[in-house]
Structure 1
Amino acid sequence: MKETRQAGSGPGTLYIVATPIGNLGDLSPRAEKVLSSVAIVAAEDTRHSGRLLQHLGLSKPMIALHEHNERERFDRVLKELLAGKDLALISDAGTPLISDPGYVVVREARAAGIRVSPIPGPCALVTALSAAGLPTDRFLFAGFLPAKRTGRKSALEALKREPATLVFYESPHRILDTLADLVSVLGGERELVLGRELTKTFETFYSGSAEDVLAELQTDPHGSKGEFVVVVRGAEASGRAEAGSQLDVDKLLGLLLAELPVKKVAKIVAELTGGSKNELYQRALELKDR
């Protein structure tokens, strides 16, 4: 469809604006200036983002643009941009497109020759990584894991031997189940840092082994409240894993079982081989029963 443009005017700019993940003081002066200047704001939730604009003393026309309507709403966004209007894309919190809607709009805007300008700022995954104390030279961001246990465990199995630091987002009503699956699949000894309510009043970090963090969260009365970022140390380097695979694991388990309790044996062999503590515990039980 051919769009009508005003004589002498060009298309507007699509600004991708990062907004606070909790603390409103984290909105950059540049982001505030852009939000003040654009003609329209496209937001994931217009009610939620409306409160941010109200806080800034702004009143702007808004377009609701979320994961369920992004493809349908793009025609309207493109029409406004081609008419010469600048538009800001924001999500409920943080940087748009990072596990949030927007990539369809950005891709199609670029294809149409529209200028896309990022306005950087808060991002939950970067915020968590910066304070986790785990390696950040390489990391793999996997967004939200599948909601159902079968899919979640399959996704974790695929990442089990990934050496890069792993980062996930999780919701409060699934966090305990997700940590339990992390323990089951990656092993209870895998180092983990959990960030809750980042930049907000009750910001909390839990750190230690996956098993210990799960136990701490289960006893914390606030442990299932707020939004979470899960940061997990990557798998041990392949050299150690290969060395471990050369060991006769059953023989090692048997020797240690003669002197130590099953749980302790599983922990030691997991550390030596890089194997799953839970799987080694079950195998040790079988050998002990024999």
Structure 2
Amino acid sequence: MDFNIKNKKISFVNSSILYIVPTPIGNLNDITYRAIGILKKVDYIIVENIHRASLLLKNFSINNVPLITLNAYNEHKKTNALLSILKKGQSIALISNAGTPVINDPGFYLIKCCKELNIRIIPLPGACAAITALTASGMNCNSFCYEGFLPKTHKKRINYLNMLEKEKRTLIFYESTHRILPSLKDMMMILGKDRNIVFARELTKIWETIYSTSIEELVFLIEENKICYKGEITLIVEGYNKSIPISSEALETFNLLKIKLSKKNTISLVSKIYNINRNLLYRYILKNNL
């Protein structure tokens, strides 16, 4: 199969196609008709975990397509065999346990090799926890950076967060249950205790949680077991903004006073109590629809 792009001829290997197919991150109804159709017609499906994939595929009556496991431990070892399949003109679909493949999941090396060999790659749109959480965060969605999982050790986390301290774009992280608290404490130390954060857990599932607060408050809620933090976690962190040094205490006071006072008088009073520039506070209130 050949394509001409600006007089440059690109030859794909036979009819070989590697499909990148997102799967639901929780709610099975989020899979697309196109994804189901492709998973039913390909010659092989690459999966992270046979058991988890089988449950998903069985739900959509996809029972006769052979499954091949690919994970962080065997990706390099198995890629040559997968390329051999593709070179024969057969098609393969790549899926992960949940969400869009390659985003903190295996498959990058295979895709890189396919690009080098001009094997056609067709990506499908679909579920992604990072983007799902971002859209509901109320933070800037026009300029953001996805950082995946923070390093596992305290020293490496601190070094990494130091690089992000002055990042003005909205930050997106994934985190695990057993590392959420130490990661948040390191964020509080480097990014500041008053930095706004959205805690999104088990997105699209019946026990979904999306909670907006400060990093300090979120640490308190987790330490006191006032919020469940088990399951798949996405953190959306407000970008750096030195011009608006507004503490959580000031915002709490604002929310209490505005019940009895006008917004104008409340802003004036809070700015005096906490020594905050009145215009900066006013712009912050407007920006965040408080």
Tell me the distance in 2 between the aligned counterparts of 1:97 and 1:152. 22
Q: Give per-residue Cα distances to partners, 1:180-214, cap 9 Å, x unaligned.
A: 11111111100000100001110001211111122
In structure 1, what is the equivalent of residue 103 of structure 2? 98
Q: What is the aligned length? A: 237
Q: Is the 8 A contact 2:70 2:78 kept in 1?
A: yes
Q: Is the 8 A contact 2:44 2:91 kept in 1?
A: yes
Tell me the distance in 1 between the aligned counterparts of 2:157 and 2:239. 17
Change (3 A) 1:115 1:214: same
- Contiguous gaps of at least 5 residues in structure 1: 1-8, 244-266, 273-290
Q: Give per-residue Cα distances to partners, 1:27-47, cap 9 Å, x unaligned.
A: 000000000111100111122
In structure 1, what is the equivalent of residue 221 of structure 2? 216
In structure 2, what is the equivalent of residue 42 of structure 1? 46
Q: For residue 157 of structure 1, what is the amino acid of its counterpart?
A: N
Tell me the distance in 2 between the aligned counterparts of 1:222 and 1:212. 11
Which TM-score applies when normalising by structure 1? 0.77
In structure 1, what is the equivalent of residue 32 of structure 2? 28
Tell me the distance in 2 between the aligned counterparts of 1:12 and 1:31. 18
Which TM-score applies when normalising by structure 2? 0.77
Q: Give per-residue Cα distances to partners, 1:19-78, cap 9 Å, x unaligned.
A: 000111100000000001111001111221111111111122111111111111111111
Q: RMSD across aligned C-alpha pairs, in angstroms? A: 2.0
In structure 1, what is the equivalent of residue 123 of structure 2? 118
Q: For residue 101 of structure 2, what is the amino acid of its counterpart?
A: P
> 1:1-290 to 2 correspondence within 5 Å?
10-59=14-63, 60-220=65-225, 223-236=228-241, 240=243
3-state SS of paired residue (2:235): strand
Q: Is the 8 A contact 2:221 2:227 kept in 1?
A: no
Q: Is the 8 A contact 1:173 1:224 kept in 2?
A: no
Q: Give per-residue Cα distances to partners, 1:135-187, cap 9 Å, x unaligned.
A: 11111111000111111111111100000000000011111111111111111
Tell me the distance in 1 between the aligned counterparts of 2:227 and 2:72. 30
Tell me the distance in 2 between the aligned counterparts of 1:268 and 1:158. 30
Give the ranges of 4+ consecutive aligned residues of structure 1 lying more than 4 Å apart after TM superposition: none
In structure 1, what is the equivalent of residue 286 of structure 2? none
Tell me the distance in 1 between the aligned counterparts of 2:89 and 2:192. 55
